[in-house]
Amino acid sequence: MNKDIKILSIESSCDETSAAVVVNGRNVLSNIIASQIDIHKKFGGVVPEVASRKHIEAISVVVKEALEEANVKLNDIDAVGVTYGPGLVGALLVGLQYAKGLSYAIDKPLIGVNHIEGHISANFIQYKDLKPPFVCLVVSGGHTFIVHMKDYGEFEVMGETRDDAAGEAFDKVARAIGLGYPGGPKIDKISKKGNEDAIKFPRANFHDDSLDFSFSGVKSSVLNYLNKKQMKNEEINKEDVAASFQKAVVGVLVDNVIKACKIKGVDKIAVAGGVASNSCLRETLKKECKKIGVDVLIPEPILCTDNAAMIGSAAYFEYINGRIVKEDINAIPNLKLGER
């Protein structure tokens, strides 16, 4: 029988410091997440320098806790996986440098992981039998992609945002209607009491066969609507604004990912990233996919937001394919999917 591969993984690309122990890319023994959200809330968004400083404080604690909770000794670890991009450079460097030191100390390989590949891999943890090929919709605070995962470690980007990420648009609109940061979950919540057909916000449609997205138009349209209302001293129904905005964003996400699925002839759509927790996206995608006999895979919320377990899963598939990184690996803030 083949030996189990235990990976200690580290994630610090944005505002969560996280460490995990994952076996064979699928079984999570621990997944410790120290979130900085409460600190960044005061500033209405993530402040990069503050994020780096908080990662430095938290990193040793979360790694220790991850090993303890997994009941695993450092010597039992087969490899160290770490996010090296995309993300905030100062934040990435903290996790990367820590992982380099650790891999040297225990004399085990270091595996650099693309954060977006990590988000996609969360699906391998949730669905133990899942294998490529499938199409994945990656929707987070910093990224919006439609990806065809042909095989482990093989990705084709079929569509991406030309401006704001989906989560970023949620956060900006939430701020404009006074809901605070992070706005996505708050928009999701109040939308349940609103009328999604109350206001017609535009959807960006590109005139070619592109599966790209643009969310800055719908965001500006919400801001204009709010300005006009304020100038006329008219009351704003926040619930209706939130629900109508959400419908516009979810509509285009669902339409494009279904088109991608038909183009590739696959029967599975996976979703990844923080916005995958959005209840309207979950329900609409499931409803539309049921009509065409396509399975929808959405990991539980803790695996959708930033966490190290997803990095440990992606690292495992890199490891078994022999993709061990060199000692001079650096943080790459704008690392592209599939780039190595």
Rounded Cα–Cα distance for residues 264 and 270 (Å): 14
Q: Does 31 bind Zn ion (CB under 5 A)?
A: no
**DSSP states of 264-302 as a string?**
HT-SEEEEESGGGG-HHHHHHHHHHHHHHT-EEE---HH
Q: Does 95 bind ligand KG4 (CB under 6 A)?
A: no
CB atoms within 10 A of CB 18: 30
Q: Which is nearer to Zn ion, 31 or 140 (CB)?
A: 140
> Which of residues 278, 285, 298, 331 is near ligand KG4 by CB under 6 A?
278
Say which residues have a Cβ less than 8 Å from residue 243's Cβ, sequence separation at least 6: 190, 191, 192, 194, 195, 196, 198
Q: Does 126 bind ligand KG4 (CB under 6 A)?
A: no
- Residues 288-307 vs Zn ion: string with x where CB under 5 A? ------------------x-
Q: Does 36 bind ligand KG4 (CB under 6 A)?
A: no
Site residues (CB under 6 A) for ligand KG4, limited to 150-179:
167, 170-171
- Pick the stretch among 77-85, 99-107, 256-264, 274-282 that binds ligand KG4 (CB under 6 A): 274-282
- Pick the stretch among 237-245, 275-283, 286-294, 321-329 that binds ligand KG4 (CB under 6 A): 275-283
Sign of CA dihedral 20, 21, 22, 27: negative
> Which of residues 114, 256, 277, 313 is near ligand KG4 by CB under 6 A?
277
Query: Minimum distance between the CB of residue 104 and ligand KG4, rounded to whole angstroms?
Result: 28
Is 236 within 8 Å of 177 (Cβ atoms)? Answer: yes
Report how many residues bind Zn ion under the rule CB under 5 A: 2
Ramachandran class of 187: left when φ > 0, alpha when ψ lies in -120 to 50, beta otherwise: alpha
DSSP 3-state assignment of 200? coil
Q: Does 240 bind Zn ion (CB under 5 A)?
A: no
Is 17 within 8 Å of 92 (Cβ atoms)? Answer: no
- Residues 214-253 vs ligand KG4: string with x where CB under 6 A? ----------------------------------------
- Pick the stretch among 103-111, 140-148, 215-223, 315-323 that binds ligand KG4 (CB under 6 A): 140-148
> Which of residues 18, 126, 140, 214 is near Zn ion by CB under 5 A?
140
Rounded Cα–Cα distance for residues 95 and 82 (Å): 7
* Type and span of the H or E element at 246: helix 238-264
> Which of residues 111, 190, 275, 289 is near ligand KG4 by CB under 6 A?
275
Tokens at residue 47, please?
């402040």
Say which residues have a Cβ less than 8 Å from residue 318's Cβ, sequence separation at least 6: 81, 111, 112, 113, 153, 324
Binding site for ligand KG4 (CB under 6 A): 14, 140-142, 167, 170-171, 182-185, 188, 273-275, 277-278, 305-306
Binding residues for substrate: 138-142, 171, 184, 188, 278
